[in-house]
Structure 1
Amino acid sequence: MPKIQAPTVAEHRARQRRAILAAARELLAESGAQAPSLAEVGKRTGLARPSVYQYFKSREDLLNAVIADMFPQWSAYVTQQMDRATDPGGRVLAYVEANLRLVAQGEHAVMRGLAASVPGAVLAEESRVLHDQLRTPLVAALAEHGASDPAAAAELVQAVVYASSQMIENGTPEAAVLALTRELLGPYLRQQG
């Protein structure tokens, strides 16, 4: 029987599960197009494929767990960054910068890998939930800032995030993209309603 690497079996299993999820995310980010096999994930974590099956019954089960793990973390990070800002314009800028930071860290590549590997309906629903969670504080910040149509303004901000994400993924340094987004959005965000 393998030796557990934690004070309790439950903690050991939780750590192993986290390691498997982290390995799957890393492999998705690296490939950007194809879900890793359970054998590849096991190799990355130092586990045999049968051991990975003790945690996830299939590749689809593992990918669904990656989605369930990743999307709330993304939303929580963006919300946390927005909450640190002291004014509505700052919250909007924090929204943009937090999303771009996650893209630069490879999280968007994980999403692309998931999009290529997970059945469309599952990913579409989870993506919709994530975007709704992210959109709510953005729309609120824009309304507080004085936008005449906060929902439409949120769509425009999201378009900037999308275009900026593409720039980062195409090799433009994160700092340069952040500077451009501040230059573009700054004049509007400094004005009050």
Structure 2
Amino acid sequence: MDLVDSLRRHRLLAIVRGKDPVAALRTVRTLVEEGIAAVEISLTTTDALTVIRQARAALGPDALLGAGTVRSAADAGRALDAGASYLVTPAVVDGLAPYGVPVLMGALTPTEIEAALARGADAVKLFPGSLGGPGYLRALRDPFPEVPFVPVGGVDATAAHDYLARGAVAVGVGSPLVGDAADGGDLDQLRARAAEFRAVAAGDTP
């Protein structure tokens, strides 16, 4: 799988984390049904590996299903065994390259960005994006024009539009999109939020 190509095409990565594994799985399936192709299940989700395994079985081998909050090579191994096809980290993490799967590695500062690239990151998760906002991403584009950035953290619909306009290949969206759905919340509201973010990813003004 070419992670960067997928992110460029879809421009949106949904981040699911919650306390109810049944609701988390239902949330993943609903997001995909609503046209959000790339979904990350955070390992902080209750019984996350089971959720990943069941989501993979439900969605099939080609689904863009990743594991998030990967903080070690051991985390990566467990997530991949469960069926994740790419890894997302909150920070610079060693030991992931040998697994041979795409990695969206977390970084914030220029030094961290260089460290992530040196460890084979396919794209850089700009985290927490809320610290600098879209203006910070614009400043990073000058020294790092070739780096695929995916801002994550506090990305609502307006911020998503601004990040994409400033050169992000995609945005990662957690609670502004998922809300309380992964804890058992209303799926109709989730569908409405999914439609809003999908429109932003398509280039419509929020």
Identify whether the pair has TM-score above 0.5, normalized to the shorter chain. no
**TM superposition score normalised by structure 1:** 0.29
Q: Which structure's residues are more often strand, by fraction?
A: 2
**TM superposition score normalised by structure 2:** 0.28
